[in-house]
Structure 1
Amino acid sequence: MRILLIAIILFLLVMLDYKLGERVYKSALKKKEYPNRQSDLTLFTTGEALFNDYFAELKQAKYHIHILFYIVRNDDVSQQLLNLLKKKAEEGVEVRVLVDWIGSLGLSRKTIQSLKESGIQFAFSNKPSFPFFFYKLNERNHRKITVIDGKIGYLGGFNVGKEYMGQDPKFGNWRDYHLKIVGEGVQDLQTQFRTDWKQATGVAFSKTETYFPPLPQGKMKHQLIPTDGMYLQEKYIDLIKQAKREIIIGSPYFIPGKKVMKALLDAAERGVHITIITPMQADHMFVKEAAMPYFHQLLKANCDIYRFYDGFYHAKVIVIDDEVCDIGTANFDKRSFFINYEMNGYIYDKAFIQSLKEAIARDLETSEKLTMPFFQNRTIVDRVKETIATILSPLL
């Protein structure tokens, strides 16, 4: 009885810490949107293509390299990147590496020490601290940003590790979407990295031309928008309400919550064709089950739901008609809406959107369409898991 009482008290203290931390933190948040920009954008859908280009650009860096990833593994693929960064630092290039404390917890102390000894400035983002330890423990900096010499930027869903190169037999081929940005938009990536670096270290690098050089206009109109656990839900609802003909959503996790779900069902009712792509297999407990109640409602509303089976589907993408698409770091779930630090790129270029839709069409060719009989054949165990997943969904 005493043990149970202690457990209840500890649980209540944790919940109090979390709720107070959430209230204090979010009361200070302000909505942030960078201006519309013109840049040249390149889409990468495989780790091999992305990292071949990425490493080639890093090798050409002359002044500075700024890198933020949610996950950097302690494996051969990560070591290839880190060794390259050490070499650039030893050449005199200024290198800053920022990784999420939870996401990159597997990085060894030996590896981190070797980075620092080579001259790399290294920091963890969102390292939990008091007060509100448990709230901060649950926050994640989920952004993936790279800026090279203030002129070339990368943003998207890929992290650094062998699975992202399709080298993990558990997941097989890894599908993800990542942008290379050349032009005006790079300054916004740099500004966001500077903000996150200052939050993690207490020190901000200067706003001089070294870090913010003059940038040419590119061909494609776009806007970068960071979110820190607020405002993303509202942005997605606005996008859904704009749709007249078609909505395509790709995400490894589909847990939209009541308000976003209502917007989707309203869109379906007014005749918008909705297509959703998620992975067949899951990489975390309960995320697959948490999506099922939403899928059931959407199927009844005549939406198309596909599950990608040729490996793992990790892309984060939204397409609204042929007018705007979103590629960034945010999943279509409550964690990205209400907890994570994310950054998304909204692109208003018809040619780019068309090429993106062609990439999505190729993914649909290796996806299985979900049907009503699937739900009718679920076991009692499946339904129990879905109930548990629904309860846990805000934290998944």
Structure 2
Amino acid sequence: MLVFTLVLLYLIIALILVAGLLINGVKPSKTLAWLLAIFTIPVGGILLYIMLGRNRRKKRLSRLQKDNLKVPTFSRSLAKETSKTKYRKLMTLIESVSRFPPTDQNQLTLLEDGKQTFENILKALEEAKNYIYLQYYIFEEGELTAKLLTLFEKKIAEGVEVKLIFDGVGSYSLSRSYIKKLKTAGVEVYPFLPFRFGRFLSSLNYRNHRKIIVVDGKIAFTGGINISDRYFKGDPELGRWHDMHLAIKGPAVKFMEYVFISDWFMVSEKKIDLKVNTDVQFEGNENTSVQIVPSGPDDVFPNIEQTYLTIINEARDYLYITNPYIIPTHEILKALQIASLSGVDVRLLVSEHSDSQIVDWTVRSYFDAFIKSDIRIFLFPHGFLHSKILVSDDDVASIGTANIDVRSFEHNYEVNAMLYDTGIAKTLKENFIKDCKESKEVMAEDFFNRPLKNKLKEGLARIFAPLL
């Protein structure tokens, strides 16, 4: 009788999940795969679906829409019609899906690697007068976090408000003792979707991969660099970590701040008032158009994937991509192939050595499709290249947290900065070409003659591409 009851209960749960899958499913192939898993893998199929398969775009994780947190707005003088008509379509797309328009009158500083990045961050934190907001996927204890704790204690004593969000999985090594020290100092600290009984299966696959710092609404930082000593000490196995970060001054800062505020509400259920100061002043003559692009599993559309697709489709001269995890979706792969076969100079720069062997095999499993489409691939040999940069046609560039894979497009909370600036685009292009000269190009003959065992590893790893 007990067995019959358990089987019946299992079937009821399976049928409920199948009904939800049929109603909320996106791709027929994906729907079919999950149907097969649910009915052919006892218990495990249901658990895998709960962890990895549910469509979060149909069921929002946050309650921001309900509580009506307002997106900052600017006058037309700060979000004016840009002269770069080529990217009007891209700008309109981003604003349609995120409600974030492009803003002018921004000053940008490109920050290469950890030393330069943390020098600028610490300087900005030292100058804070009112508040400091930090949000990181990896917040790892070491010399840097010890220095930050001391700095937080000093600033809080001066009356500065400090708020911190860290990801529950990415920062799993962060000790309770350090968190206690932060709280004792007066820092408001919250983890994003930590391990909790009853939520483990439903939340494990959805992570906050953003890296954001906002100081007094005047300066913001974002990019690929986490809070970790590895960015200036290196890694025993991978060597030096190379990454690109971005410092922003100007009206775009408020949109970065809004992203933090929305995540703060999600983890704490506390609102923060966003005060927009349109009296923007900064040193220098820069006037860069910047558009912030947030994306997450509870957005209606995969915002960052759509922006990448638009840039790829609109490229006319060249498209250079630096990213350690290029595991493209079907749509991204086809767009890259079409661009290259249409005469666009498409090049990919990836790290020769990865922090994950299975990810490395998965990335290389796509080299065949790239090479056959005349897409050039370069392997950077000097340490681990962690930057997430896309630059095209000396006009547009993207720097942020998102990789080119299903995880960044569908499962993670990410944020990129879209930069409509010829000077910055040319600088990033020059850096890309310089790095390529120091890298090893993947040649067709060598790649197609690689050992059979490598082909098998790549093929096996590719099966797990949607989960990586």
TM-score between both structures, scaled by the size of structure 2: 0.79
- From 159, 162, 167, give the equivalent of 1:92: 159
SS in 2 for 1:79: helix
* CA shift in 2, pair 1:214/1:105, >3 Å: farther
Does residue 49 of the first structure (1) align with residue 116 of the second (2)?
A: yes
- From 435, 450, 467, give the equivalent of 1:363: 435
Contact 1:220 1:348 in 2 (8 A): yes
SS in 1 for 2:354: coil
* CA shift in 2, pair 1:23/1:298, >3 Å: same
What is residue 189 of structure 1 aligned with on the other side?
A: 256
What is residue 235 of structure 1 aligned with on the other side?
A: 307
Contact 2:293 2:304 in 1 (8 A): no
Amino acid across the alignment from 1:223: Q
Cα-to-partner distance string for 1:201-251 (whole Å, 9 max, x where unaligned): 110112346xx5743485101100100032322221111110111010110
Does residue 220 of the first structure (1) align with residue 288 of the second (2)?
A: yes
1:137-216 residue pairs with structure 2 within 5 A?
137-208=204-275, 214-216=279-281
Contact 2:251 2:278 in 1 (8 A): no
Does residue 118 of the first structure (1) align with residue 185 of the second (2)?
A: yes
* CA shift in 2, pair 1:234/1:324, >3 Å: same
Cα-to-partner distance string for 1:88-144 (whole Å, 9 max, x where unaligned): 223321000111110111100000000000000001113356876424111111111
How far apart are residue 77 of structure 1 and its match?
2.3
Aligned length: 391
Contact 2:131 2:215 in 1 (8 A): yes
Amino acid across the alignment from 2:280: L
Give me the CA root mean square deviation. 2.3
What is residue 334 of structure 1 aligned with on the other side?
A: 406
Does residue 286 of the first structure (1) align with residue 319 of the second (2)?
A: no
Gaps of 5+ in 1: none
Percent identical among aligned pairs is: 32
CA distance in 1, matches of 2:210, 2:467: 18
Contact 2:406 2:467 in 1 (8 A): yes
Of 167-176 and 247-256, more deviation after overlay is shown by: 167-176
How far apart are residue 316 of structure 1 and its match?
0.3
Cα-to-partner distance string for 1:164-210 (whole Å, 9 max, x where unaligned): 1243232222211111001111111111110010001110112346x
- From 253, 275, 298, give the equivalent of 2:325: 253
- From 262, 268, 278, give the equivalent of 2:340: 268
What is residue 77 of structure 2 aligned with on the other side?
A: none
What is residue 11 of structure 1 aligned with on the other side?
A: 44
Cα-to-partner distance string for 1:60-110 (whole Å, 9 max, x where unaligned): 111110001110112222222233223222332100011111011110000
Does residue 372 of the first structure (1) align with residue 405 of the second (2)?
A: no
Contact 2:98 2:303 in 1 (8 A): no
CA distance in 2, matches of 1:311, 1:135: 36
What is residue 81 of structure 1 aligned with on the other side?
A: 148
Of 54-63 and 127-136, more deviation after overlay is shown by: 127-136
What is residue 19 of structure 2 aligned with on the other side?
A: none
What is residue 386 of structure 2 aligned with on the other side?
A: 314
CA distance in 2, matches of 1:236, 1:21: 21
Contact 1:17 1:133 in 2 (8 A): no
SS in 2 for 1:197: helix
Higher relative contact order (CA 8 A, sep 6+): 1
Contact 1:89 1:95 in 2 (8 A): yes
Contact 2:337 2:375 in 1 (8 A): no
Contact 2:232 2:241 in 1 (8 A): yes
TM-score between both structures, scaled by the size of structure 1: 0.92
CA distance in 2, matches of 1:214, 1:128: 43
What is residue 172 of structure 2 aligned with on the other side?
A: 105
Does residue 62 of the first structure (1) align with residue 111 of the second (2)?
A: no
Q: Which structure: larger Rg? A: 2
Amino acid across the alignment from 1:32: S
SS in 2 for 1:9: coil
Higher strand content, 1 or 2: 1
Amino acid across the alignment from 1:277: L
Gaps of 5+ in 2: 11-39, 66-95
How far apart are residue 21 of structure 1 and its match?
5.6
SS in 1 for 2:454: helix
CA distance in 2, matches of 1:150, 1:27: 27
Contact 2:315 2:344 in 1 (8 A): yes
How far apart are residue 343 of structure 1 and its match?
0.6
Of 32-41 and 370-379, more deviation after overlay is shown by: 370-379
SS in 2 for 1:332: coil
